[in-house]
Structure 1
Amino acid sequence: MTIGNQKRYSIGAMIFHWLIAVLVIVNWRIAESAEHLSGPEKGAVFANHKALGMLILVLTLGRLAWRFTHPLPSLPNNYAPWERLLARATHVIFYVLLVGLPLGGWLASSLALRPVDFFGLFTIPMLPVGENKDLAGTIFDAHKTAGTIMIYLIGLHILGALKHTFIDKDLGIFRMLPFGGKARE
């Protein structure tokens, strides 16, 4: 299947997309719920947030490997130049955040001497950076801001998919679904 003639993403790309999307939203909700807690309870909730973040990192790296080894569908011909630019920029920023957020959280946790426990199965080693709690706090603050940007970007992405599906009637959302309407070339 050639890139120009492919209308939908591959099944593998769809699985990565939807799995990562759900995990990112769940992880955001976990972090939001931990903000109102304190002490050991807050630490336990954030332990799940960190473990899920590391899982998202691994899945994102898998998705990037998949993306570079499987053809992508071209954008539909009816997209305006600004829509093409926005779509490409949004996807690049998604990948930067999907890799950068977990790495930043891991770095900050390492600087704070807080190991990352992977759901009780094993401990992910701390990065060899030494202790610097002030820098850890700064990175955690940047991590939180970047997480907020991710949520707004998800909203923009959903609005774009809905616009293309229901207003432009090019059924854009079906490019990332294995069923339903026929997406335009």
Structure 2
Amino acid sequence: MTDTTARRYSAGAMIFHWLIAILVIANWQIVERAHDFEGAMRGTVMGYHKAVGITILVLTVGRLLWRSTHKVPPLPSDLAGWEKTLARTVHVIFYVLLIALPLGGWLANSLTGRSIDFFGLFTIPQLPVGENRTLGGTIFDMHALGGSIFIYLIALHILGALKHTFFDKNGGIFRMLPFGKVPG
């Protein structure tokens, strides 16, 4: 393994990262568009949001399994201590949200008596929690708040990657891409 390869994420990690990133942004836009509709059309669009959320959950579990068996490259050595702490903290919060948001959505749907249609292929059953519409509504509210926090953290993540790539010139975004220069 070359020195540059040791500073890049593995191909599998890159695929998981970019696939999940695209799906998270797409799912945010799907739910934003759902607010423009009413009735059956809103339900259809929200059905896509739920199915994409479950897909994100499955991919995140896959990514965590991948990560547990593949070495993560070290953070660039020129990062300040606070930058390393911030990077690690944001990544942990990302994983928590990537798991908690879909599970929370599934739980809230279950509490409000709804199963999840997975793109018309099969139905994901309700969790065995009984019906409690008030609690389900509260969890939906927390789900929405968590989603908003996630979007702000994604913006912070993107700004950090761009800063490290173009201002610090330490490889930043190229650590998660199969091309570009990752300096030593």
TM over 0.5: yes
- 1:50-82 Cα deviation digits (max 9, x unpaired): 000000000000000001100010011100000
Judged with a 3 Å threshold, the aligned counterparts in structure 2 of structure 1 residues 2 and 170 are, in CA distance, closer, same or farther, namely closer
Partner SS state of residue 123, structure 1: strand
1:35 & 1:67 partners in 2: Cα distance?
Answer: 36
2:20 & 2:119 partners in 1: Cα distance?
Answer: 18
Amino acid at match of 1:143: H
2:166 & 2:160 partners in 1: Cα distance?
Answer: 10
Partner SS state of residue 6, structure 1: helix
Tell me how far 1:159 sits from its aligned partner.
Answer: 0.2
Superposition RMSD in Å: 1.6
**Aligned counterpart, 1:6:** 6
Partner SS state of residue 41, structure 1: helix
1:173 & 1:163 partners in 2: Cα distance?
Answer: 9
1:104 & 1:70 partners in 2: Cα distance?
Answer: 29
Amino acid at match of 1:156: L
Alignment of 1:99 with 2:99, yes or no, is yes
Unaligned runs of 5+ in 2: none
**Aligned counterpart, 1:131:** 131
Tell me how far 1:35 sits from its aligned partner.
Answer: 1.4
Tell me how far 1:2 sits from its aligned partner.
Answer: 10
Partner SS state of residue 22, structure 2: helix
**Aligned counterpart, 1:182:** 181
Tell me how far 1:170 sits from its aligned partner.
Answer: 1.0
Amino acid at match of 2:29: R
Amino acid at match of 1:32: E
Amino acid at match of 2:117: D
Alignment of 1:164 with 2:150, yes or no, is no
Amino acid at match of 1:14: M
Conserved? CA contact 1:164–1:171, under 8 Å: yes
Conserved? CA contact 1:170–1:184, under 8 Å: yes
1:132 & 1:117 partners in 2: Cα distance?
Answer: 21
Amino acid at match of 2:51: A
1:83 & 1:90 partners in 2: Cα distance?
Answer: 10
Judged with a 3 Å threshold, the aligned counterparts in structure 2 of structure 1 residues 2 and 85 are, in CA distance, closer, same or farther, namely farther
Matches within 5 A, 1:142-157: 142-157=142-157
**Aligned counterpart, 1:18:** 18
Partner SS state of residue 117, structure 1: strand
**Aligned counterpart, 2:141:** 141
2:67 & 2:128 partners in 1: Cα distance?
Answer: 31
2:67 & 2:43 partners in 1: Cα distance?
Answer: 35
Partner SS state of residue 135, structure 1: helix
**Aligned counterpart, 2:85:** 85
* TM-score of the superposed pair, with normalisation by structure 2: 0.96
Runs of 4+ in 1 over 2 A off after TM superposition: none
* TM-score of the superposed pair, with normalisation by structure 1: 0.96
- 1:101-160 Cα deviation digits (max 9, x unpaired): 000000000000111000000000110000011111000000000000110011000000
Q: Among the aligned pairs, what percent are the same residue?
A: 66
